[in-house]
Structure 1
Amino acid sequence: MSFLIEAMNQLTATLDVEESTARLLSLVVPYLADWALLLPSDRYDQTQPTSRHRHAARQRQVEDLATDLPTGFATQVASDLFSGHRRVQLLDCADPADLLGGATDSQAPGVAEHLRTLGGSQALIMALSGRSHIHDILVLVRSPGRQPFNEPDVDMALDLGRRAGMILENASLYQTQARIAEVLQRSLLPALTPVAGIESAARYLANESSAEIGGDFYELLDFHQDGLGIAIGDVNGHDILAAAAMGHLKGLLRAAAFEDFAAPAAVLEKVDRLILGLGMPTIATAVYAHVARDDDGWTLTWSGAGHPPLVLRHPDGAVEVLPVELNDTLLGLQTGRRTTHEIALRPGTTVVGYTDGLVERRGEPLDHSLGRLAEAVGTAPHAVEELCDHLLDVMSHGTRDDDIALLAVTLG
């Protein structure tokens, strides 16, 4: 019982399929077997068999076996287990080539030779069941010098297999959810359109909490002779619904910006009215800015809705964080007047927009976070692509609990 408790503690401590599989194999070897092999079904994400040997010097041998097994490989015993006709099969094998239940070289050339090299006199082959079907087959092999499997061993292995099957399925579903959400979010983030006279680059990094996904977004809108729109924002929430809401919000913001592009406050006011008027349960932070050429360079006007402030790197290398206290309330809370602010910029100025995942750290005051960002912007390379990579490298050390969207625009 203590083994099962320890096994559950280890297996439930992660939702990563690869890590869960590695932990399962490290639990059964050497406690229940001298070497072990995990065969996935065709329906399971992890198509490559995995393996473990109790002796590190022989790990390569069992890995070679796993590598040479083709996708979907199954002996008759494994096929019966995958189909649910039986839960476990105990094999006594005079020839180690039979340890997988009658594997032949016609099914997978070289398998019999690998099995004879590894050796073994007995194999306990069992199904790891999920909610609706068998995900994996676990093969536990004991060498001739070890006591054969007895009834308590089989019962313990079956109990572990039942629990492990559910845990592996949960981990697989969790990772699938994360991939779906991230693909959805990335599909909603635009490839930046080249704009004459400026350089731009953007980055998006998902958080490291697997299935949690956010509503971070950026936009670069070319109004041609009427200037450029820059937007960065973050929809509240960390799930697929947040990513979908982000897509809706981006559509509203784009529509509002193309009508009132030079009036950032009016753009965000219209977005407020649309969110509330359409009954959308969306709350978000955002900054919308408009830049237009003038005789001396550029004029930047912006309006903020509870979002971290834009950062400017001037041509002489000086870094300026726009005042955070100029922020208005979050988008989607209420309708009303918002404020627009203005600053003159010289050619060569870089405007950096980002979401809070880049700067926020537990227990760190916001002004300290912004100070770190300003320092990182000041030491970053001049080119915007390298600047973005530098900021991610410097600012995102450790585990990321939130997504990061980053947009950098250098005005020519």
Structure 2
Amino acid sequence: MAAEQDPFPGQPHLPELHVRLRSELGRIDEQLRALLDAMDRMQGLLDAVVAISREVELPAVLHRIVTTAMDLVGAHYGALGVLNETGDHLEQFITAGLSEHERADLAGTGLPTGRGVLGHLISHPEPLRISDIPAHAASVGFPSGHPHLRTLLGVAISVRGEIYGDLYLSERRDGQPFDVHDENVVMALASAAGIAIENVRLFEQVRVGAEQFQRLLLPALPDLGPFTAAAVYRPAAEPSKLGGDWYDAVPLPDDVVAVVIGDVVGHDLHAAATMASTRNMLRALLFDGGSSPGAVLTRLDRTLQALTDNPVTTTALARIEREAPGWRLRWSTAGHVPPLLITPEGRVEILTAEPGLPLGVDPGEPRPDHSRLLFPGTTLVFFTDGLIEHPSHSLDESLDDLTELAAVHSTLPLRDFVCALADHHPSDGHDDMAILALRTPPA
């Protein structure tokens, strides 16, 4: 009987083919897993960069850098050491991952001095991976109460080409030492962190400059004797642009005092310029002694419409003049929140009255005037809506909260009083605020 011949001479037998196929599938599976891991790392890095970029305060940015780096590589501990101006020692040390007990143990140790492996990274700002910290040549041990760490990944953070600080990570949660993939992803994060730090520095410069410019546009209150007066301006909690809130007080002939407060719609240079031009025009119009506040606002509105393309503005204008047995308040509003009146006994009243339209809407619409007798020791409070606006509360609720706050602090000296209102305001702080208070002399 003839021997059975191989139908595919020169080709591998079926069992061998299965082995090779399984091996090839295993290799493809490993490559796919590696690719998925790389994609996860990249997505994590992108998410981390976005998270860092959203912060607008430097302490929050620095803490976010540490925590996102820890998340990226699965580290148990993280820290960021910020160098001083000369770059030879640390002036800040932001930590994350420490338990309350560990923080308590380290409470009296102060900032790291920049010796040991930390100092090595300061002197040699190249990426540093250590699998056994005590065995490293630069190691000098840990201070009393410090967790005993074994592994370290350190990367320098540069801002505008200068070393800003160093990012330290320790103890991967899986117990493995940091690898080259960890190093690469943290280096990428450190690069983005340098940009985020520079951006928030620039933002802070713009914020401070805008706030200073805004304050320069607001006047110092003149001597309004026999009245006392105080004003305060507070920028928004997270300001990035100029505001349009403003106030003014002008002594007029015949012992008359004019008080005005306003808010230009918008938060930009145009709003600030509008605020300045409106205040200056109004000052000129105030010296027409025969005009009521409503008439002055009407003339102001028509002048602004004829000469400018200013945005909509709300304002309240008041005149206080002597009338026995005290003083007479005459006021008119242009879409502005009503002022408060606080009696000598501490009772707070909202001067709710028919409002006129904001400036820039319809200059032909008549503006109502209102009047009220003021007794000695009465306090008037004018403010912008940034003091009371809150998305969770109605305007009436916020005004009620403000009246309660004013009643509590009504006996304070006027400067302390306006600061108390600004410090404990019922708003959410999203907008800038201005407050101007005037108090008639006691009997």
2:405 paired with 1:376: yes
TM-score, normalised with respect to structure 2 = 0.72
2:55 paired with 1:26: no
Matched residue, 1:328: 356
- Any gaps of 5 or more consecutive residues in structure 1? 82-87, 100-111
Change (3 A) 1:261 1:169: farther
Matched residue, 1:103: none
Given that residues 67 and 78 in structure 2 are in contact (C-alpha distance below 8 angstroms), is that contact kept between their aligned partners in structure 1? Answer: no
- Any gaps of 5 or more consecutive residues in structure 2? 1-39
Q: Which of the numbers 226, 249, 259 marks the counterpart of 1:220?
A: 249
Change (3 A) 1:236 1:53: closer
Given that residues 401 and 426 in structure 2 are in contact (C-alpha distance below 8 angstroms), is that contact kept between their aligned partners in structure 1? Answer: no
Matched residue, 1:102: none
Matched residue, 1:178: 207
Equivalent-residue separation in structure 2 for 1:48 and 1:334 (angstroms) = 58
Matched residue, 1:105: none
Given that residues 342 and 410 in structure 2 are in contact (C-alpha distance below 8 angstroms), is that contact kept between their aligned partners in structure 1? Answer: no
Equivalent-residue separation in structure 1 for 2:119 and 2:215 (angstroms) = 41
Given that residues 32 and 140 in structure 1 are in contact (C-alpha distance below 8 angstroms), is that contact kept between their aligned partners in structure 2? Answer: no
Given that residues 308 and 355 in structure 1 are in contact (C-alpha distance below 8 angstroms), is that contact kept between their aligned partners in structure 2? Answer: yes
Structure 1 SS opposite 2:254: helix
Residues 53-109 of structure 1: per-residue CA shift (max 9 Å, x gap): 65456664898445x57xxxx99976996xxxxxx533768886858xxxxxxxxxx
Q: Work out which of the two has the higher radius of gyration on C-alpha atoms and give 1 or 2.
A: 2
Give the superposition deviation at 1:229.
0.9
Equivalent-residue separation in structure 2 for 1:141 and 1:116 (angstroms) = 20
Matched residue, 1:14: 55
Change (3 A) 1:4 1:258: same
Given that residues 339 and 380 in structure 2 are in contact (C-alpha distance below 8 angstroms), is that contact kept between their aligned partners in structure 1? Answer: yes
Letter in 2 for 1:263: S
Mapping for residues 73-112 of structure 1, pairs under 5 Å: 88-90=126-128, 98=138
Matched residue, 2:322: 293
Give the superposition deviation at 1:16.
1.7
Equivalent-residue separation in structure 1 for 2:411 and 2:334 (angstroms) = 29
Equivalent-residue separation in structure 1 for 2:123 and 2:362 (angstroms) = 60
Give the superposition deviation at 1:231.
0.8
Matched residue, 1:345: 374
Residues 170-229 of structure 1: per-residue CA shift (max 9 Å, x gap): 333333322222121122223333322212222222221232552111112122533111
Q: Which of the numbers 418, 422, 432 marks the counterpart of 1:403?
A: 432
Give the superposition deviation at 1:133.
4.8
Given that residues 342 and 348 in structure 2 are in contact (C-alpha distance below 8 angstroms), is that contact kept between their aligned partners in structure 1? Answer: yes
Q: Which of the numbers 355, 362, 365 marks the counterpart of 2:394?
A: 365
Given that residues 184 and 243 in structure 1 are in contact (C-alpha distance below 8 angstroms), is that contact kept between their aligned partners in structure 2? Answer: no
Q: Which of the numbers 307, 313, 320 marks the counterpart of 2:336?
A: 307
Letter in 2 for 1:385: R
Give the superposition deviation at 1:123.
6.2
Given that residues 51 and 63 in structure 1 are in contact (C-alpha distance below 8 angstroms), is that contact kept between their aligned partners in structure 2? Answer: no
Equivalent-residue separation in structure 1 for 2:136 and 2:435 (angstroms) = 57
Given that residues 70 and 169 in structure 2 are in contact (C-alpha distance below 8 angstroms), is that contact kept between their aligned partners in structure 1? Answer: no
Equivalent-residue separation in structure 1 for 2:240 and 2:394 (angstroms) = 28
Structure 1 SS opposite 2:225: coil
Structure 2 SS opposite 1:202: strand
Given that residues 410 and 417 in structure 2 are in contact (C-alpha distance below 8 angstroms), is that contact kept between their aligned partners in structure 1? Answer: yes
Residues 101-125 of structure 1: per-residue CA shift (max 9 Å, x gap): xxxxxxxxxxx89899979887655
Structure 2 SS opposite 1:49: strand
Residues 235-276 of structure 1: per-residue CA shift (max 9 Å, x gap): 111245433432332222223223458532233233323433
| Aligned CA-pair RMSD | 3.9
Higher mean alpha-carbon deviation, 117-126 vs 308-317, is at 117-126
TM-score, normalised with respect to structure 1 = 0.76
Matched residue, 1:104: none
Structure 2 SS opposite 1:332: coil
Residues 148-191 of structure 1: per-residue CA shift (max 9 Å, x gap): 54221111112222332333333333333222221211222233
Matched residue, 1:36: 79
Given that residues 306 and 328 in structure 1 are in contact (C-alpha distance below 8 angstroms), is that contact kept between their aligned partners in structure 2? Answer: yes
Given that residues 312 and 360 in structure 2 are in contact (C-alpha distance below 8 angstroms), is that contact kept between their aligned partners in structure 1? Answer: yes
Give the superposition deviation at 1:127.
4.7
Q: Which of the numbers 52, 55, 73 marks the counterpart of 2:95?
A: 52
- Overall identity of the aligned pairs, in %: 29
Change (3 A) 1:369 1:141: closer
Equivalent-residue separation in structure 2 for 1:302 and 1:406 (angstroms) = 17
Equivalent-residue separation in structure 2 for 1:137 and 1:261 (angstroms) = 66
